Copies of this chain bind each other. A is one copy, B any other.
Amino acid sequence: MTARVLVVDDVEPNVRLLEAKLQHEYYTVITAFSGEQAIIRAQTDNPDVILLDVMMPGLDGFETCKRLKEDPRTRHIPVVMVTALDQRQDRIKGLSVGADDFLSKPIDDVALLARVRSLSRFKGVTDELRNREAVGKKFGVIDNATSRDNGQGARVLILEDDAKRSERLRRTLETEQRPMLMEEANSLGPDGQASVELMVVSTSGVAFDGLRLAAHIRSQSVTRNLPILAIVDQDDRQLSLRALELGVNDIISRPIDEEELLARVRTLIKRNRYVESLRSNVDQSMEKAVTDQLTGLHNRRYMESQLSGLLERAKRGGAPVSVLIADIDHFKRVNDLFGHDAGDDVIRQFSERLASNFRPRDLACRFGGEEFVVIMPETLPEDAMIIAERLRVSIATEPFYIGRNRDQIDITCSVGVAVGSQLDDRPDRLLKRADEALYSAKQCGRNRVMAQAA
């Protein structure tokens, strides 16, 4: 698949050469002739890959890369640094400022294209998630804070059948990560295995075909997003290219340079954690749509969607569902006498007692204002009454604390209970019955529980 590549070099003929090579393969090329220009173009054009020369006057490649990787607008763009020679020190330095890979001049065309293809491939999903996150930021449900991660402390699984080699890998990785060998992974169980953040796969194994293993990992839904670093024998160029094509994320050659291994592993882990953070930002922002901001309880929207499902199940022969509505007595007086902040204190403490009084399967929600609803699946009427009474007592017997001085006030609540019949109940009918019971409780003098039969 084609992509947009930003080529950065202060020497114009170098830029033109790379541009021609890439355009010949139908890539779209944008150019910059200094580090400063590169940063601006990266911010405005969101290229899929950046090819960045190391030796430039002004901002050199290292400094440019560092700034690109520190900027939330550009940190997701893969950077390949182009060095004059295959200098070990340059490689280590580049990786440590966040470069994703290296090419040395004169540039090997096939390697260049394989790298660009491989790096730009993962950007599609990242861009999609970034766009969704941007929507969440616009609505204010995702905040703008960006977490800095050092790419360390990850569970790394080593797949290498030579005992000596795997032991050496483990010792190297142990300085920064939590490596383990295949045998240990088997004893972890599915949860432990799900915590793996990176796989290091040797492609020169005798007991298994590393390439096939990598392809298999990449094609399974549960491990599809797991980064893979492949170890290849020196100069096995064909295998390296094939591995990149199959979806391996990065390559390191034998003999393994320990510092380079650590740096590549850090980069892969950082990149993956970044994508995971985008995912969880989007998912959490959807959860906010069903969470009450003041109390952290679920809100009315969530309660209604869950109650519908439970009543459906009850109708198809499942266990009955009970609900209660609890309302704080004379709440308006709290607001009028002590102010809204005191009112909020009471709502929060009420929520805490409410939540701690129910079973894990029950669903406690703030319905709005000073009204709360608890859904109790598979609960018989007598049990629902006992639970509701326990709530009433827990509110009435201990004082509430308001304001900075934690002044004590006494609070009571009235509770209405209703049980869903197995026949025809809809959420609104069931809630209405509970509401009628609550009304009776208020009429009878408050601080009490009343039930309403179906």
Interface stretch of the complex, out of A76-84, A125-133, A180-188, A190-198: A125-133
| Contacting residues, chain B, for A246 (C-beta < 8 A) | 1-2, 26
**Bitwise interface map of A from 228 to 256 toward B, beta carbon under 8 Å scored 1, else 0:** 00000000000000000111000000000
| Contacting residues, chain B, for A140 (C-beta < 8 A) | 290, 301-302, 304-306
Does A160 sit within 8 A of B, measured CB to CB? no
Task: Scan residues 134-154 of chain A and give those whose CB is less than 8 A from a CB of chain B.
Answer: 135-136, 139-142
Contact B293 A300 (CB under 8 A): yes
Given the known interface contacts A215-B27, A289-B285, the answer about A302 and B139 at a Cβ–Cβ threshold of 8 Å is yes
Contact B286 A220 (CB under 8 A): no
Alpha-carbon distance A215/B369, docked complex (angstroms): 56
Interface residue from B28, B125, B132, B215 paired with A283 (Cβ < 8 Å): B132
Given the known interface contacts A124-B124, A211-B26, A435-B340, the answer about A1 and B293 at a Cβ–Cβ threshold of 8 Å is no
Contact A218 B1 (CB under 8 A): yes
Contact B48 A1 (CB under 8 A): no
6 CB < 8 A contacts A-B: A1-B121, A2-B219, A2-B247, A132-B283, A136-B286, A288-B301
Contact B218 A139 (CB under 8 A): no
Alpha-carbon distance A134/B89, docked complex (angstroms): 47
Task: Scan residues 24-65 of chain A and give those whose CB is less than 8 A from a CB of chain B.
Answer: 26-28, 46, 48
A271 CB, min distance to chain B CBs, angstroms: 16
Does A368 sit within 8 A of B, measured CB to CB? yes
Does A282 sit within 8 A of B, measured CB to CB? yes
Alpha-carbon distance A309/B251, docked complex (angstroms): 45
Does A279 sit within 8 A of B, measured CB to CB? yes
Interface residue from B132, B287, B332 paired with A279 (Cβ < 8 Å): B132
Does A87 sit within 8 A of B, measured CB to CB? no
Does A4 sit within 8 A of B, measured CB to CB? yes
Alpha-carbon distance A302/B212, docked complex (angstroms): 50
Interface residue from B289, B293, B340 paired with A141 (Cβ < 8 Å): B289
Does A171 sit within 8 A of B, measured CB to CB? no
Does A221 sit within 8 A of B, measured CB to CB? yes
Give the interface of A toward B (CB within 8 A). 1-4, 26-28, 46, 48, 121, 124-125, 127-129, 132, 135-136, 139-142, 211-212, 215-216, 218-221, 224, 245-247, 279, 282-283, 285-290, 293, 299-302, 304-306, 332, 340, 368-369, 435
Alpha-carbon distance A121/B142, docked complex (angstroms): 29
| Contacting residues, chain B, for A219 (C-beta < 8 A) | 2-4, 27-28, 48
| Contacting residues, chain B, for A247 (C-beta < 8 A) | 1-2
Contact B245 A1 (CB under 8 A): yes
Given the known interface contacts A26-B212, A283-B135, A369-B368, the answer about A290 and B218 at a Cβ–Cβ threshold of 8 Å is no
A379 CB, min distance to chain B CBs, angstroms: 21
Contact B290 A301 (CB under 8 A): no
Contact A139 B287 (CB under 8 A): yes
Which among A128, A224, A302, A368 has the greatest number of chain B C-beta atoms within 10 A? A128
Which among A124, A141, A289, A369 has the greatest number of chain B C-beta atoms within 10 A? A289
A357 CB, min distance to chain B CBs, angstroms: 24
| Contacting residues, chain B, for A289 (C-beta < 8 A) | 139, 141, 285-286, 288-289
Alpha-carbon distance A46/B127, docked complex (angstroms): 23
Contact B221 A46 (CB under 8 A): yes
| Contacting residues, chain B, for A435 (C-beta < 8 A) | 340
| Contacting residues, chain B, for A4 (C-beta < 8 A) | 219-220
A125 CB, min distance to chain B CBs, angstroms: 5
| Contacting residues, chain B, for A46 (C-beta < 8 A) | 221
Q: A370's closest neighbor in chain B, by CB?
A: B369
Nearest 5 pairs of A and B residues by beta carbon: A140-B305, A289-B289, A26-B215, A288-B289, A28-B219
Q: Told that A124-B125, A128-B129, A293-B299 touch, could you supply 6 new A-B pairs with CB distance under 8 A?
A: A1-B218, A4-B220, A28-B219, A141-B290, A288-B289, A368-B368
Given the known interface contacts A125-B124, A141-B301, the answer about A286 and B293 at a Cβ–Cβ threshold of 8 Å is no
Alpha-carbon distance A245/B1, docked complex (angstroms): 6
